[in-house]
Amino acid sequence: MKAFETKQFNIGELKGISAKTIEEHLKLYSGYVKHTNLILEKIEEMKIDSEKNAYALGEIQRRFGFEYNGMRNHEVYFDSLSGGPKALTKDGELAKCFDYLWSSYDKWLAEFKAIAMTRGVGWAMLYLDRKEHRLLHAWVDEQHLGQLQDCSLILGLDMWEHSYVFDYQPSGKKQYVEDFFANLNWEIIEKKFGEAAG
């Protein structure tokens, strides 16, 4: 079975988010990749006697969802911070969607930031619903629960404390969200949107 590989990201100096935080956060991402592969190997071993291992297989399959989604969510997060900040194309298709669904980019941004400030740890997500061809928001507490079915993740903002507490302290959560958007490479997000839209 082909193993998942740890992606490399081109993340330079960021406003507010230290190189140390990114370095430690990337180690966490590498752990998701490693454990995704380990779980898949274990599933292969256990399914040889699936009747005997039925309970354990069910539990490890749940764990697979957490590790796999953690891997993919972090790839979207780190991709969006790669290559330096780039502005949203004002007359591009994604900007047009923001205008159509929220009447302006600024109104979309205010709603997304409000979701990011949800109490507790989790992810603020922007998805493209491929069936309806519309953008949807979601707050995801646990990576194996709450992801939207048949939707492509366009933008993911990690709001687990490991992503900001070293630089901002718990009380600086709002500034972390502001700095995340200051560092965002919209060119990559627009590309994800275009690929998902087909």
User: What is the pLDDT, as a whole number, of residue 32?
Assistant: 97
SS3 state at 86: strand
Per-residue pLDDT band at 40 (split at 50, 70, 90):
very high
- If one compares 31 and 142, the residue with the highest pLDDT of the two is 31
User: What is the pLDDT, as a whole number, of residue 195?
Assistant: 96
Output the 3-class SS for 128-169: EECCCCEEEEEEECCCCCCCCCCEEEEEEEECCHHHCHHHHC
Residue 188 lies in a domain: yes
Same domain, 62 and 158: no
Average pLDDT, the chain: 95
Range of the structural domain that residue 35 is part of? 19-80
Final residue before a domain boundary, out of 80, 103, 125 = 80
- The model's pLDDT over 83-122, given as tens digits with 9 standing for 90+, comes to 999 999 999 999 999 999 999 999 999 999 999 999 999 9
Same domain, 193 and 110: yes
User: What is the pLDDT, as a whole number, of residue 52?
Assistant: 87
SS3 state at 91: coil
Residue 144 has pLDDT above 90, yes or no: no
User: What is the pLDDT, as a whole number, of residue 23?
Assistant: 97
Residue 155 lies in a domain: yes
Same domain, 43 and 135: no
Final residue before a domain boundary, out of 80, 111, 129 = 80
Distance CA 64, CA 80 (A): 24
Same domain, 132 and 164: yes
Residue 100 lies in a domain: yes
CATH number of the domain that residue 170 is part of: 3.55.40.20
Residue 175 has pLDDT above 80, yes or no: yes
SS3 state at 121: coil
Same domain, 64 and 145: no
Residue 1 has pLDDT above 80, yes or no: no
Per-residue pLDDT band at 68 (split at 50, 70, 90):
very high
Residue 1 lies in a domain: no
Distance CA 79, CA 87 (A): 15
Of 145, 186, 158, 13, nearest to 77 by C-alpha is 158
- The model's pLDDT over 145-154, given as tens digits with 9 standing for 90+, comes to 788 999 999 9
Same domain, 34 and 59: yes
Segments in 14-134 forming alpha helices (H): 19-46, 54-80, 93-102, 105-116
User: What is the pLDDT, as a whole number, of residue 99?
Assistant: 97
User: What is the pLDDT, as a whole number, of residue 136?
Assistant: 97
User: What is the pLDDT, as a whole number, of residue 198?
Assistant: 85
* Contact by Cβ (8 Å): 121, 161: yes
Looking at the structure of the chain, the number of domains it has is: 2
